[in-house]
Structure formats: C-alpha cells, structure tokens
Amino acid sequence: MKLAAVLRLSLALAVMAVAACQRDAGQPPAGGYPDFADLVERVSPSVVNISTVPADVPQEQARADARADSDADALKNAPEWFKRFIEEHPEEAPAPDDNADLPPGPQSLGSGFVLWSDGYVLTNFHVVRDAKEVIVRLLDRRQFTAQVVGSDEATDVALLKIAAEDLPAVKIGDASRLRPGQWALAIGSPFGFDYSVTAGIVSAKGRALITEQYVPFIQTDVAINPGNSGGPLFNMAGEVIGMNSQIYSQSGGYQGLSFSIPIDVAAKVARQLKDSGKVTRGWLGVVVQEVDRDLAQQARMDKPEGALVARVIAESPAARSGIREGDIILSYNGQELPSSSALPPMVGITDPGTVATLKLRRDGKTLTVKVDVGTLGPDGDQLDLPDTPPPPAPVGPLGLVVRPMSADERSKAQVVNGGVLIVSVGDGPAARAGIRAGDVLLQISGQEIDTPDRLRVVAGRLTPGSSVQALVQRRGAPLFLMIDVPDAAPAS
C-alpha cells in the first residue's frame, strides 16, 4: 500500500510539473482551450486608454462642422415622409442652429500600457501624432495629461510620461521565443470600447512591411481594430510580447491579419527616447535586393535566400570592410537571412560601434567578413532619380536605347561614376530581364558602362547563350537583373 501511495504521489507531482512547464512556456493546459479570465484580471491594470485633443480648429469651421453633423443626424433619424418632403422642397428645410454644440475635445484614439512604474507609458507614434494634448486614462478611471517624452516614426513607437508613481507595470516577455501556433491575447479600446479582450494565435514571426522596414512584425489572428493601436499583446504567462500596431484590411476593419511590434524592439526604442530623446540605429551602408532563382543559380546556391548587395555606399562601414556589389549576405551575427527584408531590422537594432559578423557568398564561394557597424543618418540610404523623361536616342545593343547623362541628371541621380540613361527598351534580352526606360545602366557582366559606345563593346563580347548580371539604378535604388544572352547576339 505504501508503495502504491508513493507511486500515486509521484505521478501527481509529475503532472503538476508538466502543467507548470506549459504555463511557463505560454501554453494552455492540455486537453482544451485556455481560460483567460485570471490572466485578464491580473494584467488589465497595466493597460491604459489614450485620447488626444487634435490641433486647433478655427471656431467658425468647428461650428459649421458641428451644425452639419447635427443636421445629418437629425435627418437620418427623421420619419420617411419628412425626408421625402425635404428632398422635394429643400427651401423648407429648418434653418441651422447657430448655437450648435462644438465638437467634443478629447477623442479616443488608441491604447497603451505602463512600461515602467514611475509613470512611463508606451503607445504607437501614430496614436499621438500632431496631438495638442494627450490624455491617459487608467483602469481605476484616473486621468492624466501626458507629456510626450519622444517618438520614433520609423518604428511607430511613442513614449509618454504621466505624473503618477507606483503604477502596475507590465512584465516583459521574450518575443524571440515565440512560436507560430502559440496563444496570444490583446487588451485595448477598439472603437472606444475600453478594456476589450481578444485572443488568437501567433501566425508568423519576422514579417516585413513596407511601412516600417526596421520592425520584424509579429503576425497574429488576434482581432485588432482601430483603437487597439498601442495596446499590449500578451502571452499565456501574462508577459507582454508585442505592441499592437497595424492590421491588413481591405475594409478598414479586422480581417484576420494583425501585426504587433516585438516588445524587445519597442522597449529598446523607449529606453533610447527616455535617455536621450532620440533613437540611433546601426548602419552598414548597403542597398540590398531579393535573390531570385536565376541569381541563386549563378551564385551556385541551392535555393534563393539572403540579401544581394546592389550598392555599397562610399566610405560606409560596408565599403571599409571590403563588401562588394554583387555579394550575397547569407547571415548577420549568426542569424540566417531568409530574404533581403530580414536584414534592415537586424542591422537597425544593432548598437553603433558593435562589430558584426557577416557570412557572404561571392563568386560561388562562402566567406566571413567583420564590419564595424556605423550610425544610420536621418535620410538612410535613399536616393532620388530624375522624373523628367529623356529625349530620343539611337538604338543600342541588347534592345536598349541609351544616351549619356547630363551633369544635372547625374547629380540628381547621385551617380558619381559611369552610367548611361536608358531612354527606351525594345524587344530583346533586356526587356525580358525586366530593364525599363528611365533606369540608369551601370554595369553589365561586371563591366562598367559609361558611354553608349562602351555598351556596344561590352555587349559584343558577351558569350552567346550565357546569363550575365546587369546593374541598374531604379527609383533611388540599385538593382541587379539577369540577362539571357541570345545565341545570336543582336546587331548594334
């Protein structure tokens, strides 16, 4: 009997240990859906509602808007016979009330959460953008006028400060340990409905959106709507793993695709805003593009991956480290790059002055390079190309019509050396490769192109039936394209 009792006790302890491990890992108990009630009760005091008073509106305009809104509401709620009468006899419509109420001051715009207990609140930049006054309301209904300590549009993060102490701060989780399929929970104020709770699963990690290239977003199917912005995303342990920021929608409402800023990214930005009022990011000085199948085959790679270096900025950290145009960056500090969009957030979150290790693919071989990470400037690596269409020019080889660039065009395009302007692209290898009119042709097969005559010479030496790289600059960024040289080279 004693042995049986010991075995039963051991089994019970083992089950409890497994359940505890599941809770610590952010997993629900085995055998069913989780009950979020206790978790919500525990973490809700850390969540806040954020309202703003917009920039000043002229008094007469405000009254006119209020009258229009009041008249619209009155007509909407009027009987059908009255609506038809007004439509048929607009002159009989009641005169506007000059004493119509002005629009209310604060408008509920978003959510936030207490990051540090001494009054620091985190939210989205777009929630407080251009606000004259920001009001933070806590769960216990206390309201505070907040000071915007700082904001960072590139990551859509803003840090607020309210005059309060001993606030219930959130517990920070580890977003890097998230796995698709794990439960996640959001609390916020969608459409002004305070402390609404929604739950779902993590759909994917490291999503790149064109709106914020320095954020590897967490994608979930948690229902997020306008007003949830800036609110926290929790795991099952009650830890904040992200800040809800965007939805993907064709209707303006939730359609199953929600995106959150990983908490490590948001918290690091907040710390910099608190300490210095600004955000610094790492910088390599390269412009990259996706690696397609043709480029991967030329580099003798098993699959398309990594980030192809389309341009190296002069005097940049990458240039000083020997990185070349045409290199393919496979990993950054040991983290593999499944696509080129994975590189900017990795570099951006790196502290300037750090030595980063890059694994490259060059000429079919793999090598390792060390780079002293620099500081990203306010304009990044963006370039501008002239918008004026070039005049006609004689037809050149490969189906291209090109001409030399003027000094003004070269300056606007920020092309220091070489390059010819592509006027038009006829039927031929260049068109099939995706080269467009308005591109600046810089290289073919590693050979610089600085005049139309040089293009004819280089094109005439290409091996029939081979595939070669062409480097063009398009809309502010360099781009490598693969040209399939025909068996019979076209005439000049």
Q: Which of 108, 126, 245, 316 is catalytic?
A: 126
- Which sign, positive or negative, has the C-alpha torsion 118, 122, 125, 128? negative
Question: Is 126 annotated as catalytic?
Answer: yes
C-alpha–C-alpha distance, residues 488 and 204, integer Å: 48
- CB-based contact 222:164 (threshold 8 Å): no
- Of 170, 171, 164, the C-alpha closest to 140 is 164
Percent helix, strand and coil across the chain, each to the nearest 5: 25, 35, 40
Write out the two tokens for 96: 């506007």
Q: Which of 46, 51, 111, 156 is catalytic?
A: 156
Q: Are strands 171-172 and 239-247 parallel, antiparallel or unpaired?
A: parallel
Write out the two tokens for 484: 């399939």
- Of 161, 359, 174, the C-alpha closest to 265 is 174
CB atoms within 10 A of CB 223: 19
Write out the two tokens for 141: 């209904």
State CA 74 to chain mean position distance: 43
Q: Which of 229, 316, 331, 341 is catalytic?
A: 229
C-alpha–C-alpha distance, residues 303 and 145, integer Å: 54
Q: Are strands 307-312 and 328-332 parallel, antiparallel or unpaired?
A: antiparallel
C-alpha–C-alpha distance, residues 431 and 452, integer Å: 17
Non-local CB neighbours of 4 within 8 Å, separated by 6+ positions: none
Per DSSP, what are the bridge partners of residue 335?
332
Q: Are strands 171-172 and 400-403 parallel, antiparallel or unpaired?
A: unpaired
Question: Is 89 annotated as catalytic?
Answer: no
C-alpha–C-alpha distance, residues 91 and 94, integer Å: 9
Question: Is 484 annotated as catalytic?
Answer: no
Backbone φ and ψ of 427, nearest 5°: -60, 130
Catalytic residues: 126, 156, 229
